[in-house]
Structure 1
Amino acid sequence: MDENNTLIERLKANDETAYQQLFEIYFKRLHHFAERMVFDTEVAHDLVQDVFISLYENNRKLSAQSNLSAWLFVSVRNSCLKYLRDRKVEDRRNLLYVEATLNSESIEWIDDEELLKKIYLAIENLPDKCRQIAKMRFIKEMKFSEIASELSISENTAKVQVHRAISKIKEQLAADSALFVLFSAYVEYFLE
């Protein structure tokens, strides 16, 4: 029996230490994930806590085939999207893009020309080196090692530039909350 199955069995048996272990392993990551979607630390904390409560209340529904990590992240994502829906994010159509993009790995998936223009414009407004690396990472979907090799820089430098690009792009998109959420969810894939 693998570690995941053992933990599931312990959760189903209401083993308090299993819940503590799961909480210690996942809470910070889930909170960080939620905070990037709802942009509010306290709300993110509450949403993640609610997911753990839901797991506790519905532990009998878990099966040996359940992937706890996937279940937790999907549950938090769904809770965040519900929170955003309930708060009536300005443009309903943009919220639908956010939901779909969470499952996408490419900026090209976004088929709304106006949204893409805003993201591309934000990238174009970056400083030269930062813009070049952002295009390589976000548009060409190059790995950090490939960027580093092509530009004769360290992988670490490429990562730092991508993080700077993300921060600067978010600053530029901050006025459009739905687009900001969309971009924030999208870049998650590119930080790995």
Structure 2
Amino acid sequence: MLNDESLIRQLSLGSSEAFTAIYGQYWRQVYDFSKLYLRDKDYAEEIVQEVFIKVWESREFIKENDNFKGLLFIITRNLIFNKHRKKVNEDFYKMTILRAMEESYDIEGEIDAKDLSRYIDLLINELPPQRRLIFNLSRKEFKSYRKIAEQLNLSEKTVERQISEAIKFIRQNLLFIIYLYTVV
């Protein structure tokens, strides 16, 4: 049997056999994690399918030395909170985040800047298309709100609101990464 790094390397090259092996190895962990937040087992099963669809769709960006397990749970968490918000046990989520924030630790020691940058890029790619475009124009091309508004024929207030929502989404998900590293 191949180790995780070999499987991920083969997956990134498009191997359906590697994908099947990875699915077999991780589906139960994704399912159990989903059940922490979802009360309905059918929704949890649906999340598992969607997580692995996302893994397959982004396979060429996954590197063998990445924290694959962490990536799986980030995708899972995002799908749960984005698509099934009403089914989520939000109180449990809030308690886990508060507990993670209360514990003192050095996240830089656990996630190097390169990995963090990759996770942020993954999060940016999950933004709705217009919000992602506005965010990238602001943060990567360093355009002012006014310039973005003119370029996209929007009001400055709309641009400001879109960037605010993007930052809020990224912050929430970064808190989740911190949570993962305190329990994994």
The TM-score with structure 1 as length reference comes to 0.46
The TM-score with structure 2 as length reference comes to 0.47
